[in-house]
């Protein structure tokens, strides 16, 4: 389009996605080619989608840590974000109110930049007790509703607690476990891509 200041967002340009998360995104103890963003990009391309997915996962990161690094983790030109943070908050028993506030702030920043979001939910470990679990687990569906984002309710659905799909620490998926996550989340990411393309069309 004549005079456009964002040629990278032309209708036929790759959709630029950032996978913004913790070790589950980063690919803890996996080869770079086995990490979630790489496997997801390959699966999407196999389905005919032209995408570029950046790995902005940092092992050990919490929701507040993600908020602190937001500006460099989500560079200019990003059109969509898969937000996967909170697992370490739950493991450490961080106050759910703090986790909610940090995720809320991240989502607010993304919305202000017109970046479409797929929020990947987490659930709290049972050992923290039902009150903590109840307060933590509702964070994701409630924020998704408030910010009108797409939601994948539990990032580790079908993988958590399955020894065959996790490393010996019982917490981090193997390459095969990541493959299972990609298989399950793929329709949600395709919906995210459709939102990006609809936004592009509305601007043209």
Would you please indicate which residues are annotated as catalytic (active-site) residues? 23, 169, 172
- Residue 80 contacts residue 192 (beta carbons within 8 Å): yes
Q: Where does residue 64 rank: exposed (0-12), middle (13-18), buried (19+ CB within 10 A)?
A: middle
DSSP codes, 50-83: -EEEEEEE-TT--HHHHHHTHHHHS-TT--EEEE
CB atoms under 10 Å from CB of 28, counted, come to: 17
**Tokens at 181, concatenated:** 């996550």
Cross-strand bridge partners of residue 84 = 21
- Residue 4 contacts residue 185 (beta carbons within 8 Å): no
- The count of residues in the chain is 204
**Of the candidates 161, 118, 160, 156, the residue with the CA atom closest to the CA atom of residue 140:** 118
All residues at 6 or more sequence positions from 126 whose CB lies less than 8 Å from its CB, including other chains: 133
Cross-strand bridge partners of residue 173 = 166
């Amino acid at each position: 389009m004549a005079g456009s200041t964002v040629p990278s967002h032309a209708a036929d340009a790759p959709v630029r996605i950032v996978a913004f998360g913790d070790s589950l995104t980063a690919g803890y103890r996996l080869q770079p080619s086995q990490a979630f963003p790489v496997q997801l990009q390959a699966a999407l391309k196999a389905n005919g989608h032209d995408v570029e997915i950046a790995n902005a996962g940092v092992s050990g990161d919490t929701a507040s840590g993600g908020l602190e690094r937001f500006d460099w983790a989500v560079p200019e030109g990003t059109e969509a974000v898969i937000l996967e943070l909170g697992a370490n908050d739950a493991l450490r028993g961080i106050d759910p109110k703090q986790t909610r506030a940090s995720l809320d702030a991240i989502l607010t920043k993304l919305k202000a930049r017109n970046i479409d979001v797929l929020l990947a939910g987490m659930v709290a470990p049972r050992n923290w007790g039902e009150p903590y679990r109840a307060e933590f687990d509702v964070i994701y569906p409630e924020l998704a509703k408030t910010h009108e984002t797409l939601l994948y309710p539990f990032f580790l659905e079908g993988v958590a607690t399955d020894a065959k799909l996790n490393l010996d620490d019982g917490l981090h998926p193997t390459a095969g476990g990541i493959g299972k996550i990609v298989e399950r989340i793929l329709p949600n990411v395709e919906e995210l891509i459709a939102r990006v393309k609809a936004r592009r069309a509305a601007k043209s």
